[in-house]
Amino acid sequence: MAPAAALLMGPLLLASLWGVSTARSLLSRLGDHVQEVQARLGQRLGEPSPAKVGWLWQPLDPFNSSDQRSFLQRYWVNTRHWRSPDGPVFLHIGGESSLGPSSVLKGHPGTLAPHWGALVVSLEHRFYGRSVPPGGLDIAQLRFLSSRHALADVASACVHLSRIYNISASSPWIGFGGSYAGSLAAWARLKYPHLIWAAVASSAPVQAQLDFSSYNQVVSRSLADPAVGGSPQCQRAVAQAFSELDHGLSEGKETQAALQSEVRACGPLEIPEDQAELLEQLEGLVGGAVQYDQQVGVPLDVRGLCHLILANQTKGPLSGLEDAIQLVLHTLDLPCLPSSKAGAVAELKDTSPQAVGVGSRQWFYQTCTEFGYYITCKDPSCPFSRRRTLSAQLQLCTQVFGLSPASVTEAVTRTNTYYGGQSPGATRVLFVNGDIDPWHVLSVRQALGPSESAMLLRGTSHCSDMAPPQPSDPLSLQRGRWKIAQQLMMWLQEAKVNPGSP
């Protein structure tokens, strides 16, 4: 089918697949909200956007040439600054959520494109947003969802878009991505070096990890860090609030009903599974304050959270947590905190795709079949409840997808063997991380060689370098962005000297 026809059919084919999430984790909701706010920054009402949407036909199974099934994958393109035909191509690789027009207007690709005359392209990840194959999210379909399939899509897109836009063979493609997509950017350079000249991998957890207890170790350390507005008193107060809440939930129905009202839970808290669900949502509230610290759009950063927690010490730390809950619910326009485990499981079993936000079922499937990343609270420094166990999260893989804990463990091992974990061995990759981001411990934090470099930015959070620059940005973040631009300059100069070199 011609690209023009695909462009017209894409929305028609996929509009009926839209769904509404009801029980998503608070942490994923916070991430969506931050992205939405940042996407609106700098937009001028009434001004035509240079971002254009397109659709590519991709094979459902790129590793089986006899399988002729295909699906439409969405991409966005910004040609405003492109010096055709041999200007560089900045490729924003999509991750576990939908992509919009801001993906080719902002971040490193959009910011750096004017100086280099770059064509900016973003590619939505298969099975997310509107790039969902016919058949939806049934388990038989999801076997075609993996990072390897996503990388094959990137390679195919490089080839097809080069033809569509008459991109010169000497034009270097630079991959960009953040979080899981940051890993994809690094892996695209690793696995397809003849197509991807270099990559910037921001907050990229390239090490798959079954038990990710170190997430909460970083959360605890950041809550106590004065450099970002934390303090040891704040860390202890958060721990006391969760201890008080955990103890209260173990009391009788009267205490549970009072807590339901105080913490704005959506439903009764009499069942242990629902209690654990509520505690997980509240962990996400605190974890989100750390993970997205100081970013535009985050309702509470570490400084703000600690202020609320410590402001009402005479009433007890739980009172401060209640204030934080109220503020976050108001910001996210939520009436209450989801607290139904059955509701959360039902959402994960829902095979109807969502057009926007994080795809809960899809991403959970990828954790069960590739990455793990199950956040637990085993370390003594963890300020949260011990109810969130690894075994419970592994059992959820069995409950939703029929995957045994042993198979999940084996999948994590295979992922690290295939990509190399924290020693991927790719050249021309720059890993960028913030030291208060809980995910940085699974990334590359020190240079592995002259062509596999890394930056660890003091006092910055998850994918902060990709966010729109602000006057309040820490000096380390400002310097980090400058170093990224300098690294890009070196790569593009090298491409001119050695065109076509892998």
> What does the pLDDT read at residue 45?
53
Residue 18 has pLDDT above 60, yes or no: no
- Tokens of residue 372, six digits: 């793990």
> What does the pLDDT read at residue 21?
31
Residue 161 has pLDDT above 80, yes or no: yes
Given 32, 153, 437, 473, the catalytic residue = 437
Cα three-residue angle 300-353-177, rounded to 5 degrees: 55
The radius of gyration computed from the CA coordinates of the chain, to the nearest angstrom, equals: 22
Count of domains in the chain?
1
Residue 14 has pLDDT above 50, yes or no: no
Q: Is residue 372 part of a domain?
A: yes
Residue 104 has pLDDT above 80, yes or no: yes
> 17 pLDDT band (50/70/90 cuts)?
very low
Q: Is residue 89 part of a domain?
A: no
Residue 116 has pLDDT above 70, yes or no: yes
Report the alpha-carbon distance of residue 70 to residue 337 in Å, rounded.
40
> 267 pLDDT band (50/70/90 cuts)?
very high
Our CA dihedral for 252, 256, 257, 259, rounded to 10 degrees, sits at 150
Percent of the chain, pLDDT > 70? 93
Q: Is residue 394 part of a domain?
A: yes
Q: Is residue 85 part of a domain?
A: no
Residue 236 belongs to what domain range?
215-412
Given 81, 125, 149, 462, the catalytic residue = 462
Residue 166 has pLDDT above 90, yes or no: yes
Q: Is residue 223 part of a domain?
A: yes
178 forms beta bridges with 202
Q: Is the C-alpha dihedral spanning 234, 236, 242, 244 positive or negative?
A: negative
To the query of whether residue 462 is one of the catalytic residues in this protein, the response is yes
Q: Is residue 431 part of a domain?
A: no
To the query of whether residue 391 is one of the catalytic residues in this protein, the response is no
278 Cβ neighbours under 8 A, 6+ residues apart: 249, 263, 265, 269, 337, 339
pTM of the model: 0.92
> What does the pLDDT read at residue 19?
26
Mean pLDDT to the nearest integer, 400-417:
98
> What does the pLDDT read at residue 381?
87
Q: Is residue 232 part of a domain?
A: yes
Residue 450 has pLDDT above 60, yes or no: yes
Least confident span in 30-39, 104-113, 402-411? 30-39
Q: Is residue 39 part of a domain?
A: no
Strand pairing report for 89-93 and 119-123: parallel
> 403 pLDDT band (50/70/90 cuts)?
very high
Residue 249 has pLDDT above 60, yes or no: yes
Given 131, 147, 156, 179, the catalytic residue = 179
